[in-house]
């Protein structure tokens, strides 16, 4: 037993694993700056709910990132790549762009020029999505397969810390500093990721097993970068189209988190409308962050015991129903107990759903193109998050918060129906990789 704990401690203290914590922080910090935190700033600047939700389109780079991922994987940055390597050079470039775009956003005044604010926020999202591509690739290439679990857990923990600072931390800071100064401080904190990348060695990419689409680089007739890019993107869609029930699966990927997506961007504006103070909202976000981690852990245990299909059904139902708790909050006003009850209910069920959702994505991911398939499916997930949230503000503004939460709960029904159709892929899967019965699956999966 002592030897087992010693080995675990040795792995967690490994420099490559420790660095994942700081890389995760760099990945999580900018994520909320174009989402809930920006929405909070806009609401405090008296921007309408409809405008706030429509501005959500600026996060489009998160669901379109698979389009330029092949270029990040192959294109060399002049001078920089030769000195730093493919991954580190792209990481530094994306982080420098992040700092510049966040600082530009910090000089915006939403009430005076909402268009310029949206443009600056778009460039933050673009640089952040690019950084995500690089950091994911770096993690996979720098760690051994046996270290993926520990490396990912460190990365996610750092990611959560970044989210907490950019979320509740930023809101709390804005109570005694203005939003412009707050965003400048967050831009400075991006130095953590830059310093980490400079300390990291470039991974040895030549040791990776090349898949069919990565092997294109070695074919003389396909040296042209544009031809290679076209072939890579075509193979992604072709591989998906050969998966049985692929239309239903892709629809399910976009719709499973729709209830959570609808409420996500409107959470802070709703609480401000009800009358809660910034400090109460910041504290509630902290509570929500840690309870979501508890929910994700709980889902992992339940999946290993009861199977993925059953828990996905449970999580999808609970996540939709949790939105109804906010109806009581909308009617009661500034009730602190109800605020925390609603926050805990929403975040526990959301954390459970995310954990089950990730397990689902892994279960339908191609064994031939794992990284590419996963990147595309997460892009589709982000597509649902961005597009679905666009009319959220208009619905709340025109029908009121009570009807908005009823609608958001009902919006989860289509995904539950689709789950029964794609369920055969999930019925016997367990989180530890074992199966009760080997399901019949296409070779292309």
Question: pLDDT tens, 5-17?
Answer: 555 555 555 677 7
Whole-number pLDDT of residue 153: 62
Residue 383 has pLDDT above 90, yes or no: no
The answer for residues whose C-beta is within 8 angstroms of residue 341's C-beta and 6 or more apart is: 325
Rounded average pLDDT over 214-222: 44
Tell me what the pLDDT averaged over the chain comes to: 78
Range in 177-181, 197-201, 265-269 with the lowest mean pLDDT: 265-269
Rounded average pLDDT over 83-98: 91
Locate 281 and state its tokens: 């909202």
Q: Is-same-fold flag (1-203; 232-445)?
A: yes
What share of the chain has pLDDT > 70, as a percent? 77
Whole-number pLDDT of residue 222: 47
Locate 88 and state its tokens: 């580190």
Residue 360 has pLDDT above 90, yes or no: no
CATH of span 232-445: 1.20.1250.20
- The torsion angles phi and psi of 411, rounded to 5 degrees, stand at -65, -15
Range in 108-112, 321-325, 362-366 with the lowest mean pLDDT: 362-366
Rounded-to-integer distance, Cα 343 and Cα 279, Å: 15
Tell me: domain 1-203, CATH 1.25.40.20, correct?
Answer: no
| Local confidence band at 166 (pLDDT 50, 70, 90 cut-offs) | very high
What share of the chain has pLDDT > 90, as a percent? 15
Residue 364 and residue 249 in contact, taking contact as beta carbons nearer than 8 Å: yes
Residue 103 has pLDDT above 90, yes or no: yes
Environment class of residue 176 by beta-carbon count within 10 Å: exposed (0-12), middle (13-18) or buried (19+)?
Answer: exposed
- The residues spanned by each domain of the chain are 1-203, 232-445
Pick the residue with more confidence: 299 or 255? 255
Residue 217 and residue 391 in contact, taking contact as beta carbons nearer than 8 Å: no
Residue 1 has pLDDT above 60, yes or no: no
Whole-number pLDDT of residue 99: 96
Identify which of 279, 297, 298, 294 has the alpha carbon closest to the alpha carbon of residue 344: 294
Rounded-to-integer distance, Cα 278 and Cα 44, Å: 10
Whole-number pLDDT of residue 117: 94
Range in 25-29, 33-37, 437-441 with the lowest mean pLDDT: 437-441
Environment class of residue 126 by beta-carbon count within 10 Å: exposed (0-12), middle (13-18) or buried (19+)?
Answer: buried
Residue 387 has pLDDT above 80, yes or no: no
């Amino acid at each position: 037993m002592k030897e087992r704990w010693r080995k675990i401690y040795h792995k967690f203290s490994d420099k490559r694993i420790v660095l994942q914590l700081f890389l995760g922080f760099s990945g999580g910090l900018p994520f909320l700056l174009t989402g809930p935190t920006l929405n909070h700033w806009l609401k405090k600047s008296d921007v309408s709910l409809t405008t706030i939700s429509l501005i959500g389109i600026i996060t489009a780079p998160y669901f379109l990132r698979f389009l330029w991922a092949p270029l990040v994987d192959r294109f060399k940055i002049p001078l920089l790549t030769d000195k730093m390597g493919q991954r580190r050079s792209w990481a530094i470039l994306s982080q420098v762009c992040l700092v510049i775009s966040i600082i530009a956003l910090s000089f915006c005044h939403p009430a005076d020029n909402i268009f310029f604010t949206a443009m600056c926020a778009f460039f933050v999202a673009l640089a952040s999505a690019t950084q995500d591509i690089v950091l994911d690739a770096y993690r996979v290439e720098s760690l051994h397969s046996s270290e993926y679990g520990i490396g990912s857990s460190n990365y996610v923990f750092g990611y959560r810390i970044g989210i907490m600072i950019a979320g509740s931390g930023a809101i709390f800071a804005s109570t005694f500093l203005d939003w412009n100064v707050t965003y400048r401080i967050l831009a400075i904190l991006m130095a953590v990721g830059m310093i980490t990348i400079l300390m990291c060695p470039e991974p040895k990419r030549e040791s990776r097993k090349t898949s069919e689409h990565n092997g294109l680089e070695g074919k003389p007739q396909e040296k042209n970068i544009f031809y290679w890019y076209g072939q890579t993107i075509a193979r992604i869609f072709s591989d998906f189209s050969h998966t049985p029930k692929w239309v239903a699966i892709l629809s399910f990927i976009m719709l499973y988190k729709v209830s959570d997506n609808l409420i996500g961007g409107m959470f802070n504006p709703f609480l401000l409308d009800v009358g809660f103070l910034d400090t109460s909202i910041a504290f509630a976000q902290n509570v929500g962050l840690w309870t979501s981690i508890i929910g994700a852990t709980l889902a992992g245990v339940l999946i290993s015991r009861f199977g993925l299909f059953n828990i996905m059904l449970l999580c999808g139902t609970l996540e939709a129903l949790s939105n109804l708790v906010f109806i009581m909050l909308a009617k009661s006003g500034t009730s602190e107990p109800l605020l925390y009850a609603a926050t805990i209910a929403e975040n526990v069920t959301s954390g459970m759903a995310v954990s089950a959702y990730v397990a689902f994505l892994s279960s339908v991911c191609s064994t031939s193109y794992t990284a590419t398939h996963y990147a595309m499916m997460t892009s589709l997930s982000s597509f649902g998050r961005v597009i679905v949230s666009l009319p959220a503000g208009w619905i709340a503004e025109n029908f009121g918060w009570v009807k908005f939460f009823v609608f958001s709960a009902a919006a989860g029904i289509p995904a539950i129906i689709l789950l029964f159709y794609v369920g055969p892929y999930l019925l016997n899967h367990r989180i530890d990789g074992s199966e009760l019965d080997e399901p019949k699956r296409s070779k292309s999966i």
